[in-house]
A and B are shown apart, each in its own frame.
Chain A
Amino acid sequence: MPNLGPAISLSAFVPELILSAVGCLVLLLGVAQRESVRRSIPAIAITGIIATIIVIFWRYTNANDVGGGFAFEPLAYFVRLSGLVLGVLLTLAAWAQPRDAERGEFFAMMLFSLTGLLLVAPAANLVLLFVALELVSIPTYVLVTLSRSNLKALEAGTKYFYLGAMSAALMAYGFSFLYGVSGTIAIDAEMASAIQDALAGRSGALPQALAVVGLLTSLAGLLFKVAAVPMHFYIGDVYQGAANAVAGLLGFVPKLAGMIALIKLLALTSVWYNHDEALFWVLWVVAALSMTVGNVLALMQSNVKRMLAYSGIAHSGYMMVALLAGPAAGGGMLGNGIAAILYYSVIYGIANLGAFAILGVLRVRGQACEHVRDIAGLLRREPGLALLMALAMFTLMGLPPTPGFWGKMGLFGSALHVAQHASSGPAGPQATWLTVLVIIGVVNSAIAAAYYLRVAAAVLLHDSDEPAEADQRLEFAGMGAFMCGFLLLVFSFYPNALLNSGTSAALRFEEAPAAITAAAPPPAAESSAR
């Protein structure tokens, strides 16, 4: 097994290198003398992202470079492409958001965060995974603070930074335990079998305890990134304080990064194969609570930004249903939970960003819209934006045939599929309790319908003496919102391409680890001898 073995050619990183180089360029141009240069920064950022997409299409569609602690596989391809497409939308949405003096920093941070996301997927050892995750998060602390000039943004940024630092510390602490248990930092079969042995108590009591502590603390750190219960407390204030485009970014970049890291972490255990019951229950409770708490909190909000923030917790909960199901059942999006998560996080990211982008464009009496009553009667004034808002809400709600429906179908379907599988295998909690989790999820999507409908109703049905109107200076943000809507429509009626690339990205996880396949016929044999 190559540990840090063969060097990997630098050419494997060309997309990431372009992106970070453009980030540095943008950072420098931010202090340029001439205003016209400073004004062109968003255009440069978006050109950089589009250039990266072109480079990926040109050279890296079938990249399979492994080495140096990275593994560029279909998963990396999926994340690269979806991350960059969302990056284009994010740049459009944030076009006129930062003040002149901070434009360079703002877009540089955005590009760095995207670079981090692109590196999370290929990271194949614990150190690089940690570094990539922090490369995602640290720029977002800056983004939240920079995005608006009021005290709330400062408060949000501070809160986000301290809690984020704590979660990073927890994660690093947990990763070090995992290293201690397995004796390797490479996330590979060797580490997996060591951790599985330790968790099953085959290596003695101390490694077992260390592995449990290591897993739980790193899990806690990652739950912060995806904003799942019990690490969700920051989300309402942070989303409310941040500018709309940044809140849209927070719903996608850290969430997808965190989900991928969670997938990598769980792939080290055997929770997907009806073992490690304790871990199963921890995740089960986290998923059930995330869905329920998120939806109940969102139901109580009348501020749209806070509502979307809390509903983000619920969406993490839905994804955790499929995370718990895992890839074991195989067979595409209604069986491989990982494929479903990848699909869903992209769709959620687009719909969430679309909703925030529309909020960002709207003004009531010159003020930004936040409250449900601010956007009442939008259909009369801005029919296009109103319909887009409705489309975003229906997607988040999961109404067929919006792509949110296909996503929910994948998440819940894979859980049911795994439950079916488990019912014919060895006894474990999966067979019954995954089905129960799906029922909790379905009931929660019904609860969610109530508050999403409140927004849709305000926009489309209600009248207002002073309806919100689009700020004409924010034409690019409006364009971003329309592109989100366009993508949602495309994925409604033609979800095949995204589904299939999600499926092939998740294919790697379908092979059961050696310890499971070896241990399956004779139960609990000492088959994992080195």
Chain B
Amino acid sequence: MGTMHLAAQFSLNALIFLPILAAVVIWALPKHVERMAQQVALWVGMVTLALGAFLWVLGQPQLVGSAETTDTPTLVGETEFAWINAVIHDQQENEVGGVRVRYHVGLDPISSPLMLLTALLVPLSVACSFASIKTRVREYYAWMMALTAGMFGVFAARDLLLFYIFFEFTLVPLYFLIGIWGGSDRRYAANKFFIYTFVGSVITFAGILYLAIRASFLESAGTGLGVIDFDLIKLSSLPLENGLTATEQSLLFLAFFAGFAIKVPFFPLHTWLPLAHTEAPTAGSVLLAGVLLKLGTYGFLRFSLPMVPLGAVQWASVMGALAVAGIIYGALCSWVQRDVKKLVAYSSVSHLGFCMLGMFSLLPFGLSGSVLYMINHGLSTAALFLIVGMIYERYHTRDVNQIGGLARQMPVMAFFLVFFVLSSVGLPGLNGFVSEFTVLFAAFNSTDHLGPSFGTLGATGILLGAIYLLYMTGKVLFGPLKEPANTPDLSAGLTRDLTVREITILTPLAVLCIVLGVAPRLVTDTLDPVLADERVPYSVLNRIRQARDSQIHLVTQTASPTSATRPKSEPLADHVAGPVAVGEVIFGES
């Protein structure tokens, strides 16, 4: 344990600080070795991938062989020290007030797959920029590296304020990536993206402050003589009875919603996304779709659900309705797009709707399906954006009316495009199917919050998804050959079909799509126990169950104050009796 733990600590912190260091180095490179920026960034990306893979393996008990014996699950690479330490002591050296913000990082099975996804997409998105970025090269890769550090920080943070800092920090590099290297409307897109997300997250910030202060009052029994800290575990295990009231939780949920839902993006708040995606450079789109949108869903899962579970339970139906609306609206918007990139962007709105639908079923397999969905969406949508970028580099257009029949010109690209489209629409055997099926299954079964009507309406999204994606594929790949004049433009060292570099970028994603399609248990086997761990009072599903119990308690108290017996929540006991693996839902008990 000793050396392994040290190695894990080192790797995790290197994931955050190495890219920052790389950003500084790249920025400081002299002008005449500008091309080295690409190499440095790529190498740093490869190193983070290796470190990420190492950390992920450490988090797999069946691979490492160290079965959990303690009641508190350990975090991979856990590192902790006080960063902001403005604590007041009394004469007896007791802490009687002040504030403490910790630098506390560590990975658990919820965050480690998302971390690995980030570690995979970073080198790929660096590699895909080689041909397209020709101006201000050093700055570009420096911002890419800064963004990388922010993304790793978000997933590793175990302190709510540290999370928030990384969450906000990702705005700045992406703002520059879109605003400097984006398309023709880039400045408007960057400003809209920044202001939209900033508005949401300052409201979230007020919620975080309120929650932390309230928690210190609860902890010190109302005297207020406690240190205000933002520890994840402490804030996720506040008492639900005689603690935060239902109204407070409801409002806090809305405050968290403001920041996270804009990032997801949830249906009525999604309008920044298509614009940002369309204007962003390919690498920006890849990271935006692959990782940054997940910050919102991850935020819901990691913070909203366990910290204000009563609020989550109260709002679950509304969230479900918005998710379904997003699924259908996003799909219909995709259908009518002529710009392929915009089409994929709207499809993200639709797909993230599925993810949220699964999450707010508040069922074990709904939650794990939702995490799986995050990863699958990250893989296939990132790949689609990459392919769109490759087409754009050759034809300088993304208009489906101007290009067509490319399958004959670019058979390898056609193979990959069809492959990832199929993965995205949920062809059984590929990754999309498992998660799509699970979240819809959860929506059908979540009789408390969602129910069959949500499932049915959500399922139409699959149908629509197949229509718009296959329709686009057909127009781009098949039929008579259509190419704009003077194209393909091969001046940047490209070939007519995909180059070796481009094939190398797409292949790992394709392999992972198959792997996760066949063996989703790679993710869910470690994920399910953590989501529903009986021994861990702050695990998401325990908190949800507590919230339901306290809600029932409240209802019975108001309805019949004399009845002392508290009805057991029978259907809930079934749901959380044991972790139900996604694999079992789909393939049955083996």
Chain A hits for B222, CB < 8 A = 424
Bitwise interface map of A from 453 to 465 toward B, beta carbon under 8 Å scored 1, else 0: 1100100111000
Which of A397, A438, A461 gathers the greatest number of chain B CB atoms within 10 Å? A461
Query: Is the beta-carbon distance between B206 and A399 smaller than 8 angstroms?
Result: no
CA distance A412 to B190 in the complex (A): 28
Return B570 CB to nearest CB of chain A, in Å: 37
Query: Is the beta-carbon distance between A416 and B191 smaller than 8 angstroms?
Result: no
CA distance A127 to B401 in the complex (A): 80
Chain A hits for B96, CB < 8 A = 330-331
Bitwise interface map of A from 410 to 429 toward B, beta carbon under 8 Å scored 1, else 0: 00110011001100100000
Query: Is the beta-carbon distance between A413 and B190 smaller than 8 angstroms?
Result: no
Chain B hits for A8, CB < 8 A = none
Q: Which stretch (B171-179, B285-293, B476-484) binds chain A?
A: B171-179
Query: Is the beta-carbon distance between B86 and A333 smaller than 8 angstroms?
Result: yes
Query: Is the beta-carbon distance between B225 and A420 smaller than 8 angstroms?
Result: no
Q: Which stretch (B194-202, B552-560, B580-588) binds chain A?
A: B194-202
Q: Which stretch (A131-139, A300-308, A495-503) binds chain B?
A: A495-503
Query: Is the beta-carbon distance between A421 and B99 smaller than 8 angstroms?
Result: no
Query: Is the beta-carbon distance between B97 and A330 smaller than 8 angstroms?
Result: yes
Residue of A nearest to B206 (CB): A442
* Interface presence of A445 (CB below 8 A): yes
Query: Is the beta-carbon distance between A399 and B172 smaller than 8 angstroms?
Result: yes
CA distance A188 to B191 in the complex (A): 51
Residue of A nearest to B203 (CB): A442
Residue of A nearest to B176 (CB): A460
Bitwise interface map of B from 147 to 190 toward A, beta carbon under 8 Å scored 1, else 0: 00000000000000000110011011000100110000011001
* Interface presence of A324 (CB below 8 A): no
CB within 8 Å of B: which A7-56 residues: none
Return A495 CB to nearest CB of chain B, in Å: 6
Query: Is the beta-carbon distance between B168 and A409 smaller than 8 angstroms?
Result: no
Query: Is the beta-carbon distance between B98 and A445 smaller than 8 angstroms?
Result: no
Residue of B nearest to A399 (CB): B168
Query: Is the beta-carbon distance between B84 and A496 smaller than 8 angstroms?
Result: yes
CA distance A445 to B204 in the complex (A): 13
CA distance A333 to B99 in the complex (A): 7
Chain B hits for A446, CB < 8 A = 195, 198-199, 202-203
* Interface presence of A394 (CB below 8 A): yes
Bitwise interface map of A from 148 to 173 toward B, beta carbon under 8 Å scored 1, else 0: 00000000000000000000000000
CB within 8 Å of B: which A184-216 residues: none
Chain B hits for A397, CB < 8 A = 198
Chain B hits for A368, CB < 8 A = none
Query: Is the beta-carbon distance between B190 and A457 smaller than 8 angstroms?
Result: yes
* Interface presence of A2 (CB below 8 A): no
Q: Which stretch (B210-218, B392-400, B536-544) binds chain A?
A: B210-218
Chain A hits for B190, CB < 8 A = 457, 461
Residue of B nearest to A444 (CB): B202
* Interface presence of B224 (CB below 8 A): yes
Residue of A nearest to B85 (CB): A496
Query: Is the beta-carbon distance between B224 and A331 smaller than 8 angstroms?
Result: yes
Query: Is the beta-carbon distance between B224 and A420 smaller than 8 angstroms?
Result: yes
Query: Is the beta-carbon distance between A334 and B214 smaller than 8 angstroms?
Result: no
Query: Is the beta-carbon distance between B86 and A500 smaller than 8 angstroms?
Result: yes
Return B176 CB to nearest CB of chain A, in Å: 7
Residue of B nearest to A336 (CB): B97
Return B127 CB to nearest CB of chain A, in Å: 26
* Interface presence of A450 (CB below 8 A): yes
Query: Is the beta-carbon distance between B86 and A453 smaller than 8 angstroms?
Result: no
Residue of B nearest to A498 (CB): B86
Query: Is the beta-carbon distance between B97 and A332 smaller than 8 angstroms?
Result: yes
Query: Is the beta-carbon distance between B191 and A453 smaller than 8 angstroms?
Result: yes
Chain A hits for B191, CB < 8 A = 453-454, 457
* Interface presence of B88 (CB below 8 A): yes
CA distance A472 to B169 in the complex (A): 34
Which of A333, A446, A500 gathers the greatest number of chain B CB atoms within 10 Å? A446
Chain A hits for B416, CB < 8 A = none
Chain A hits for B202, CB < 8 A = 398, 442-443, 445-446, 449
The number of chain A residues touching the other chain, given as a range, is 35 or more
* Interface presence of A335 (CB below 8 A): yes
Query: Is the beta-carbon distance between A450 and B86 smaller than 8 angstroms?
Result: no
Chain A hits for B214, CB < 8 A = 420
* Interface presence of A239 (CB below 8 A): no
Chain B hits for A416, CB < 8 A = 206, 209-210, 213
Which of B97, B171, B202, B228 gathers the greatest number of chain A CB atoms within 10 Å? B202
Query: Is the beta-carbon distance between A413 and B198 smaller than 8 angstroms?
Result: no
* Interface presence of B205 (CB below 8 A): yes
Query: Is the beta-carbon distance between A332 and B87 smaller than 8 angstroms?
Result: yes
A406-B84, A416-B209 given as contacts; is B98 within 8 A of A449 (CB)? no
Say which residue of A329, A400, A500 sits within 8 Å of B165 (CB atoms): A400
Chain A hits for B180, CB < 8 A = 460-461
Query: Is the beta-carbon distance between A449 and B168 smaller than 8 angstroms?
Result: no
Say which residue of A332, A435, A449 sits within 8 Å of B195 (CB atoms): A449
Query: Is the beta-carbon distance between A503 and B165 smaller than 8 angstroms?
Result: no
Query: Is the beta-carbon distance between A450 and B195 smaller than 8 angstroms?
Result: yes
CB within 8 Å of B: which A448-506 residues: 449-450, 453-454, 457, 460-462, 495-496, 499-500, 503
Chain A hits for B195, CB < 8 A = 446, 449-450, 453
Chain B hits for A405, CB < 8 A = 165
Residue of B nearest to A409 (CB): B209
* Interface presence of A520 (CB below 8 A): no
CA distance A453 to B224 in the complex (A): 37
Return A93 CB to nearest CB of chain B, in Å: 26
Residue of B nearest to A329 (CB): B224
CB within 8 Å of A: which B412-440 residues: none
* Interface presence of A401 (CB below 8 A): yes
Chain B hits for A278, CB < 8 A = none
Query: Is the beta-carbon distance between B206 and A332 smaller than 8 angstroms?
Result: no
Return B149 CB to nearest CB of chain A, in Å: 12
CA distance A329 to B195 in the complex (A): 33
Chain B hits for A400, CB < 8 A = 164-165, 168-169
Query: Is the beta-carbon distance between A438 and B206 smaller than 8 angstroms?
Result: yes
Return A55 CB to nearest CB of chain B, in Å: 28
CA distance A172 to B557 in the complex (A): 61
CA distance A394 to B176 in the complex (A): 13
Which of A413, A421, A496, A499 gathers the greatest number of chain B CB atoms within 10 Å? A413
Say which residue of A330, A438, A457 sits within 8 Å of B187 (CB atoms): A457
Chain B hits for A454, CB < 8 A = 191
Say which residue of B179, B186, B198, B209 sits within 8 Å of A399 (CB atoms): B198
Bitwise interface map of A from 344 to 387 toward B, beta carbon under 8 Å scored 1, else 0: 00000000000000000000000000000000000000000000
* Interface presence of A63 (CB below 8 A): no
Query: Is the beta-carbon distance between A331 and B209 smaller than 8 angstroms?
Result: no
CA distance A402 to B225 in the complex (A): 28
Return B346 CB to nearest CB of chain A, in Å: 26
* Interface presence of A439 (CB below 8 A): yes
Query: Is the beta-carbon distance between A334 and B228 smaller than 8 angstroms?
Result: yes
Chain A hits for B224, CB < 8 A = 329-331, 335, 417, 420-421
Chain B hits for A496, CB < 8 A = 84-86
Query: Is the beta-carbon distance between A462 and B187 smaller than 8 angstroms?
Result: yes
Chain B hits for A462, CB < 8 A = 187
Residue of A nearest to B199 (CB): A446
Return A358 CB to nearest CB of chain B, in Å: 19
A399-B171, A442-B202 given as contacts; is B98 within 8 A of A332 (CB)? yes
Query: Is the beta-carbon distance between A495 and B84 smaller than 8 angstroms?
Result: yes
Q: Which 5 A-B pairs have the closest CB atoms?
A: A331-B97, A332-B98, A461-B179, A446-B199, A400-B165
A/B interface sample: 6 pairs, CB < 8 A: A332-B97, A400-B164, A401-B165, A438-B206, A442-B206, A461-B190
A residues whose Cβ falls under 8 Å from a Cβ of B: 329-335, 394, 397-401, 405-406, 409, 412-413, 416-417, 420-421, 424, 435, 438-439, 442-443, 445-446, 449-450, 453-454, 457, 460-462, 495-496, 499-500, 503
* Further 15 A-B residue pairs, CB within 8 A, beyond A333-B98, A399-B198: A333-B86, A335-B224, A412-B206, A412-B209, A413-B228, A416-B209, A416-B213, A442-B205, A442-B206, A450-B195, A453-B195, A457-B187, A461-B179, A461-B186, A503-B98
